[in-house]
């Protein structure tokens, strides 16, 4: 399979996995949001701050180290497994010990119990990281898709049943535990690889040499992201944290699905092109423009349809989340530019550069975050948008020697796309002025107008990004039609 076909296949199945999982979580979250309160979601949001950081330590960047390695031995895989398990047990024990301190800090009952229970996930996930890495290395996202979908359906059903019988935020906790446990069991059942009693300190040293810098960089990045949860939960209220987490989930449905897909698939693909720098660079530029085109379309939809989406799906008790979603959506404009630039740094085997950029950007933004906190929740949300722009500028300027893609050239490449985004946003704004009071009709009208705008502008100006996505969709729909035709025969 050629690089282009491999990339398309990987992108397709990774996007299906990420999107379907997001849609499932989204749908399950809608049901749970109608059964639970914003404050109950806020409590689980606090727990997630600690478990997500601990999960990074469990992986320690080993998976990325082995994905980029040309040849992996049995020593590598077994060393990774046992290292992950040891770290999982250590991090689980650490969270159990600090749980009472977390409860004392937030003054919320049951947080200690919740954190102790949730920490079990760290040990569970340690058993599945090798199999997951092997599938990602082979760009076999079709298998990952099936595994993720099954585990999401099972865990979602458990969460909803528990919420219906009055388990409150415990239903969200058990949903997470069941999802991770079922995913690991399915990964093990699918994989032909079986562990052996092998451990190599040389292999560990090699993985840790690359992975340690990645770990610190990702830990700083994840810690920085979770800082918003930490501060909102402490200085505002659990209800406002619940509104924030729900708005962020809506924002992440299209944007993070796309970026997670691109990062997961293009990292091994771009690594394969390391000895073909010209082809790699063109693939890099094309990827950046196409992903930005999709992101801008999604942002316009979120900003101008947020009222209808939240009111119809979540109900009146979540209406305060509308401005949260509108403001947070703006912060994703630079998301593909930031992520893809950082991705190419990893591909170029520059973990020190990756770490340095992460440390510099996060340290510089702490004062801005503090200003946002002391001036209120909406000030903090607008600070998030400002920081996303500043972070892109710093990443691009700092990494230009590695990427060979200066910010002037990047802006020249994406300028037509920014104009496209402003045009479809203006059209949506005019559509909103009609003042349709029925939320369902308003949502349908805005969706139809957006679709017509995207197609008309794409064809009228012969946008390469539009044509690329259109050709891929037609190709994939054609393949589906052929398979359906064979089944009928």
State whether residue 433 is helix, strand or coil. Answer: coil
Query: What DSSP designation does 399 have?
Result: T
Q: Tell me what pLDDT residue 185 has.
A: 92
Q: Tell me what pLDDT residue 210 has.
A: 66
Lowest mean pLDDT among 92-96, 133-137, 409-413: 133-137
Structure-token pair, residue 453: 């705008």
Q: Is residue 248 over pLDDT 80? A: yes
Selection from 210, 217, 221 nearest residue 63 by Cα: 210
CA angle 199, 205, 211 (to 5 degrees): 110
Q: Tell me what pLDDT residue 1 has.
A: 47
Judge residue 44's burial from the number of C-beta atoms within 10 Å of its C-beta, 0-12 exposed, 13-18 middle, 19 or more buried: buried
Lowest mean pLDDT among 28-37, 109-118, 322-331, 402-411: 28-37
Q: Tell me what pLDDT residue 366 has.
A: 83
Confidence of residue 484 (pLDDT cuts 50, 70, 90): very low
Q: Tell me what pLDDT residue 12 has.
A: 55
- Residues of the chain with pLDDT > 70, as a percent, come to 83
* pLDDT tens-place string over residues 411-441: 999 999 999 999 999 999 999 998 888 999 9
Q: Tell me what pLDDT residue 20 has.
A: 66
Average pLDDT on 98-119 reads 89
Residue 101 CA to residue 338 CA, distance in Å, equals 35
Cβ contacts of 308 within 8 Å, gap of 6 or more? 439, 440, 442, 443, 446
Residue 332 CA to residue 291 CA, distance in Å, equals 11
Q: Tell me what pLDDT residue 330 has.
A: 93
Q: How many CB atoms within 10 Å of residue 229? A: 21
* pLDDT tens-place string over residues 60-71: 667 777 766 667
CA angle 456, 460, 462 (to 5 degrees): 115
Q: Tell me what pLDDT residue 315 has.
A: 80
Q: Tell me what pLDDT residue 455 has.
A: 94
| Full 3-state SS string of 322-335 | HHHHHHHHHCCCCH
Confidence of residue 487 (pLDDT cuts 50, 70, 90): very low
Please state, rounded to an integer, the average pLDDT across all residues of the chain: 82
Lowest mean pLDDT among 22-36, 270-284, 333-347: 270-284
Distances (CA, A) of 60 to 6, 210, 226, 263, 389: 28, 10, 18, 18, 29
CB 88 within 8 A of CB 123: yes
Cβ contacts of 422 within 8 Å, gap of 6 or more? none
Distances (CA, A) of 283 to 140, 347, 401: 20, 13, 18
Selection from 411, 380, 375 nearest residue 393 by Cα: 411
Q: Tell me what pLDDT residue 325 has.
A: 93
Lowest mean pLDDT among 224-233, 245-254, 381-390, 476-485: 476-485
Q: Is residue 2 over pLDDT 60? A: no
Structure-token pair, residue 39: 């404050």
Q: Tell me what pLDDT residue 435 has.
A: 81
Confidence of residue 80 (pLDDT cuts 50, 70, 90): confident
- Residues of the chain with pLDDT > 90, as a percent, come to 25
């Amino acid at each position: 399979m050629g690089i282009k076909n491999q990339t398309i296949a990987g992108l397709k199945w990774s996007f299906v996995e990420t999107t379907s999982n997001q849609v499932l979580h989204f749908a399950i979250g809608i049901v749970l949001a109608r059964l639970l309160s914003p404050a109950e979601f806020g409590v689980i949001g606090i727990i997630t701050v600690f478990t997500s950081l601990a999960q990074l330590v469990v992986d320690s960047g080993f998976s990325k180290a082995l994905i980029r390695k040309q040849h992996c031995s049995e020593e590598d895989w077994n060393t990774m497994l046992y290292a992950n398990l040891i770290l999982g047990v250590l991090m689980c024990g650490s969270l159990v010990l600090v749980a009472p301190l977390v409860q004392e800090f937030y003054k919320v009952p049951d947080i200690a119990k919740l954190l102790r229970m949730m920490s079990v996930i760290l040990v569970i996930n340690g058993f599945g990281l090798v199999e997951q890495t092997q599938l990602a290395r082979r760009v076999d996202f079709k298998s990952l898709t099936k595994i993720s979908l099954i585990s999401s359906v099972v865990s979602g059903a458990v969460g909803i049943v528990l919420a219906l019988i009055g388990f409150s935020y415990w239903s969200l906790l058990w949903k997470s535990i069941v999802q991770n446990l079922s995913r690991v069991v399915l990964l093990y059942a699918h994989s032909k690889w079986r562990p052996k009693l092998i451990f190599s300190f040389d292999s560990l040293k090699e993985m840790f040499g690359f992975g340690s810098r990645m770990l610190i960089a990702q830990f700083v990045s994840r810690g920085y992201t979770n800082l918003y949860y930490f501060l909102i939960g402490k200085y505002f209220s659990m209800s406002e944290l619940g509104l924030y987490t729900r708005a962020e989930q809506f924002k992440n449905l299209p944007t993070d699905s796309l970026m997670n897909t691109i990062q997961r698939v293009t990292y091994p693909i771009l690594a394969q092109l390391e000895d073909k720098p010209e082809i790699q660079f063109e693939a890099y530029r094309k990827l950046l423009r196409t992903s930005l085109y999709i992101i801008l379309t999604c942002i316009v939809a979120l900003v101008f349809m947020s009222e209808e989406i939240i009111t119809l799906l979540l109900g009146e008790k979540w209406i305060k989340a509308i401005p949260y979603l509108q403001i947070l959506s703006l912060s994703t404009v630079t998301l593909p530019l930031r992520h893809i630039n950082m991705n190419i740094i990893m591909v170029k085997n520059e973990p020190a550069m990756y770490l340095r950029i992460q440390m510099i950007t996060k340290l510089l933004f702490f004062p801005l975050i503090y200003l946002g906190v002391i001036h209120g929740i909406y000030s903090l949300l607008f600070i998030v948008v400002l920081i996303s722009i500043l972070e892109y500028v710093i990443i691009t300027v700092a990494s230009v020697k590695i990427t060979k893609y200066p910010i002037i050239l990047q802006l020249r490449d994406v300028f037509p796309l920014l104009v496209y985004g402003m045009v479809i946003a203006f059209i949506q704004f005019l559509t909103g002025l009609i003042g349709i009071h029925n939320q369902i009709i308003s949502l349908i009208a805005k969706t139809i107008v957006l679709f017509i705008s995207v197609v008309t502008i794409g064809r009228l100006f012969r946008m390469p990004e539009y044509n690329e996505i259109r050709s891929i969709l037609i190709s994939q729909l054609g393949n589906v039609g052929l398979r359906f035709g064979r089944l009928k025969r």
